[in-house]
Structures are given as structure tokens and as C-alpha cells.
Amino acid sequence: VVHYGAIYIPQVNRLPVRFVLEKAEGLDVERLAAGLASGDYDTVGHGASGDKEGKNRIVVAFELKYEHEMAEAEAALRRRRGGEGGPHENEVVFARACLKEQRAGQEEGDGGDGGGWHELGGLRWPSPSPGQDGSCRYVWVGENPESLALTNAMLCHNQSDWFRYDPVAGEWHAYGSVSTASRTLRRRYFLVEKAKDANIVGIVVGTLTIAGYLEALGALRRVLAKAGKKSYTFVMGRITPEKLANYPEVEVFVLISCPQLALLDSRDFYAPVITPYEAVLAFVPNKEWTGEYNIGFGALLGLGSEKSEEENGGGDQQQQEEEPTFSL
């Protein structure tokens, strides 16, 4: 399969695939490099959280249509700095696009959050040290302030300051820390609390090609069964309010699909639509939201190791079942 156009480069598991990305023109790489070198992005923010006295880490992410310009932008920044930069200059890390040509069942050697690399929205960059993500700053290159990829990235790294460079207007915009200001995060937390009261859960499978979807489906079924929830499984291509309205007895839906498209605004739906990560928060006992967020299957796939521990710890399981449940 050859896919041309907008995509976030998922990892597939059935067919060999090649992704041909759109190439947008108009990015002034010298202007972007000048802003990164001089810290122009920081002049438009208020109350940035980085350590201005020390050396900060700046991760440059971007809309994939600008991927072909990033190597030149990185080279331009290096020329302005005369190499790798001085000891007090910020460390600037440019994200890379994930594998654009994949074989069936192929796994990238150091992808995901393992091997020192972090992947999100078709991009990958070296992972920060544990507990250091809040000290990183992220620069997004893209003209659309409502970009789904940008929104997902900000949610997954909601303890950091975010800046956006608009290649069309040539302007910098600051978002600051979105850990407390994001309406999206607050609404997702509300949906998690609402899902806890549901007795009938619908599992909507919106993909048959993304690697790991079957394992995620099996793990979610086990979670719901253990929580005493009745579940139904649906396979749908495009998710619409009209389709889900045909099942009025379902009180909440869990969408298993491309991670980049899993964050649906369910205001127009008759029942909430949540992500697999939110389902873990809602239905797994003693799971608390620490502020971290994940849009992939990782939270569900990580329950496999916990399953064997629970099977060997019957006493702990019985104690959890006896604990009272409170609904807000």
C-alpha cells in the first residue's frame, strides 16, 4: 500500500506500506533558525518555567508536511552557532519522522518510549531523563493553531511550555504550561469520572491495521470483565453520532483506533467516547490520574504483566473487591 498525503505514520502489522508525505513550501529555515538561536520564542511567553540561568532542552516538532525542510533548518541553526553551541546555549533537538517504509509486522528497533526514544504523531526524538519532561520546552512548526497533532502533543506533554512558529506569517506564539489551563484536559477528566458510573460499555474498534489493536482489545475486555461491566464490541470505519445512537443502552464507548484520531470531541454524541488510557483510569481499581496523558495503547498493553501478578495475589484482589466504591 502506498499512502500519499496527510498521515501521522502509524506502525502497521498486516501489509507492507510506504508513506509519501505532503511537502509544504514557504518555510523560511533561516528565520526559524534565527529565532531558535536567539530565543525569540521566549519573548512572546509569560512566566516560562525553564531554568533561564542554565542550559535548557528545546524539542522542535512539526507538522509532517514540513519534514523535508527540517534537515536544512537544523543545519542553519548549527551554522549560526558555529557548531554545537556554547556551554550556556540551549540544547535544541529536532524531531525525526518515523519509518516511512514498513514491512508487515516490522518493528522499529528503538521506537516507542523504549530504547531512549519517544514517539508521538509520526515523530520521534530522544526521550528526556525521568522526571525532566517538565523542564523541556517544545517548539511546534505549523500554521494551524487548532492542529490535532499539536493538541495531542500538548496533552501528552502538559507539564511543559509550548511555543509555535507560524511558517506562513513568520510569527512566534506562546502557549505556556497547559497543565492547568487546558480545557481539554479538564473535560477528559470529567468523562473519566462519568465513565466510572457506566454499567454497559461499548468497545468501538476503528482500525484493523494498527499494530497492537488486537492485544489492546483483549486487555480492555479483561479489564471490563473484572470491573463487572457488560461490554459489546463494534467494528466501525468512520465514527458518527448517528451510528452510535443506534445503541442507546450503551452508557459509554471506548474507541480503539489510530492514536492520533482517538481523541474525539463527544459533545455531539449521546454517550461519552473515551480513549483506552481513560478507560484504564475509569475501570482499573486504584488508578489515579497524575496529570500524565497517553493517546496510544500503551496503558492497556502494560496491563499484561499486572495480570499475572493479580492471579498470584488472590488475597490482595479480594481486599480490593471489599473496598467501597464512591460515585461523584
- For the stretch 240-293, pLDDT in tens is 999 999 999 999 999 998 887 888 888 889 999 999 999 999 999 888 877 788
**Sheet with strand 123-126: strands edge to edge:** 96-97, 123-126, 117-120
Check: CB of residue 203 under 8 Å from CB of residue 231. yes
Check: CB of residue 119 under 8 Å from CB of residue 112. yes
Return the SS3 of 125.
strand
pLDDT value, residue 312: 47
Percent of the chain with pLDDT over 70: 78
Dist CA 171 CA 165 (whole Å): 6
**Sheet with strand 171-177: strands edge to edge:** 91-94, 57-62, 136-141, 161-166, 171-177
| Low-confidence winner among 26-35, 109-118, 139-148, 253-262 (lowest mean pLDDT) | 109-118
Check: CB of residue 17 under 8 Å from CB of residue 2. yes
pLDDT band at 176 (very low <50, low <70, confident <90, very high): low
Cell of 38: 536567539
Dist CA 319 CA 284 (whole Å): 14
**Higher pLDDT, residue 107 or 203:** 203
| Total H helices, total E strands in the chain | 10, 15
Taking 70 as the threshold, does the pLDDT of residue 98 lie above it?
A: yes
pLDDT value, residue 167: 94
Dist CA 152 CA 178 (whole Å): 12
**Sheet with strand 273-274: strands edge to edge:** 230-235, 200-205, 252-256, 273-274
Kindly report the number of other CB atoms within 10 A of residue 249's CB atom.
10
Taking 80 as the threshold, does the pLDDT of residue 64 lie above it?
A: yes
Helix, strand, coil: what percent of the chain each, to 5?
35, 20, 45
- For the stretch 204-226, pLDDT in tens is 999 888 888 899 999 999 999 99
Instruction: State the helix-helix crossing angle for 67-81 and 29-38, rounded to 10 degrees.
Output: 50
This prediction has a pTM of 0.80
Instruction: Tell me, rounded to whole angstroms, the distance of Cα 276 from its chain centroid.
Output: 12
33 — alpha (psi -120 to 50), left (phi > 0) or beta? alpha
Check: CB of residue 96 under 8 Å from CB of residue 125. yes
Mean pLDDT of 154-170: 88
| Low-confidence winner among 54-58, 131-135, 159-163 (lowest mean pLDDT) | 131-135
- For the stretch 299-327, pLDDT in tens is 787 765 455 444 445 444 444 444 454 44
